[in-house]
Amino acid sequence: MPLCGACHRLTQKYPVPGWVKVFFAVVAVLVLLGAAYNARFALAYYEVRRGFGALDQGDFAGASERFRSAAQRVPESGDLAALAGYFEGVELLAEGRSAEALTRLRGLDGKLPPNFQVEEVMKEAERGAAFDSKDYDRLLELSLAALQRSPGDAKALGAVASAYACKFAATGDEAFQRQSLDYLSQADARGGQDPAWQEYRQRIRHRLATREILVPAEFHRRYPDGWKE
């Protein structure tokens, strides 16, 4: 197609209308704004993924920190707030701060999938809070209720033995001691040589032997190599 020099230059540099340039400038601004506005969601998403990765490796504190950070990045997400609250609650529970854990966990039931077992964790926090406040009647009541939900479970049997041991330590009533020993032997039969159970068992035996109720941290401080009867 023969073209004169001026026409050839025009076809090679066909002008783009001003409004089209404005259109693409607006699209570019929207793309940049979209990326900037949504960056926090991407960061929160990767925090959540790293949190679950930490959980897989057993790094509970690390996971809790990641979920908390994710929730802070997207405060309007109820799901993230629930996730962060749950792990914060469980972390508090592990630190023996049961009353604070209970406060943190309240209201989370129904906001997380069933496999999180929020209700169970809350009941454990309630038991911890009753123990911390020396409300041993409430502790026994909650432990018996837990055993009813999981009959024959070594941990639940141990919790009842622990509650009766507390009642014995507080009152000196030997009926409670016998009850505690009875549940302890049932738990023993199911708990076996599991180290976590053996440690829990040792604290209950110490309580029955000394009538002194120690929190786990104090028990481990006093008997770093374990307590011997």
Partner 1 sequence: MIPGFLIAWLTFPGVIVHEMGHFLFCRLRGVPVLEVRFLRLGNPAGYVIHGPTANFTTTFLVCAGPLLVNTLLCLLICLPTYLPMEVFGIKHPFSYLLLWLGVSIGMHAFPSTQDAGNLWRAARQEAARYNLLAILSLPLVVLIFVANVLSFVWFDYLYGVAIGIGVPSLMF
Q: Which residues bind partner 1 (CB under 8 A)?
A: 1, 3, 8, 11-12, 14, 16-17, 20, 23-24, 27, 30-31, 33-35, 37-39, 41-42, 44-45, 74, 76-77, 79-80
Shortest distance in whole angstroms from residue 205 CB to partner 1: 50
User: Is the distance from CB of 158 to CB of 170 less than 8 angstroms?
Assistant: no
Spatial distance between the Cα atoms of 141 and 135, rounded to a whole number of angstroms: 10
The angle formed by the CA atoms of residues 73, 79 and 83, to the nearest 5 degrees, is 80
Q: Comparing C-alpha atoms, which of 154, 152, 104 is closest to residue 128?
A: 104
Residue with tokens 């123990």: 131
Shortest distance in whole angstroms from residue 152 CB to partner 1: 41
Tell me whether residue 58 or residue 110 sits nearer to partner 1 (CB atom).
Answer: 110
- Residue 214's identity, in one-letter code, is L
Tell me whether residue 31 or residue 217 sits nearer to partner 1 (CB atom).
Answer: 31
Question: In this structure, what are the phi and psi dihedrals at residue 29, rounded to the nearest 5 degrees?
Answer: -65, -45
3-class DSSP state of 67: helix
Tell me whether residue 17 or residue 224 sits nearer to partner 1 (CB atom).
Answer: 17
Tell me whether residue 6 or residue 224 sits nearer to partner 1 (CB atom).
Answer: 6
Shortest distance in whole angstroms from residue 85 CB to partner 1: 16
Tell me whether residue 78 or residue 216 sits nearer to partner 1 (CB atom).
Answer: 78
Tokens linked to 30: 């929207």
Shortest distance in whole angstroms from residue 117 CB to partner 1: 23
Shortest distance in whole angstroms from residue 37 CB to partner 1: 6
Tell me whether residue 14 or residue 225 sits nearer to partner 1 (CB atom).
Answer: 14
Residue with tokens 């479970």: 153
Shortest distance in whole angstroms from residue 14 CB to partner 1: 4
User: Is the distance from CB of 85 to CB of 105 less than 8 angstroms?
Assistant: yes
The residue count of the chain comes to 229
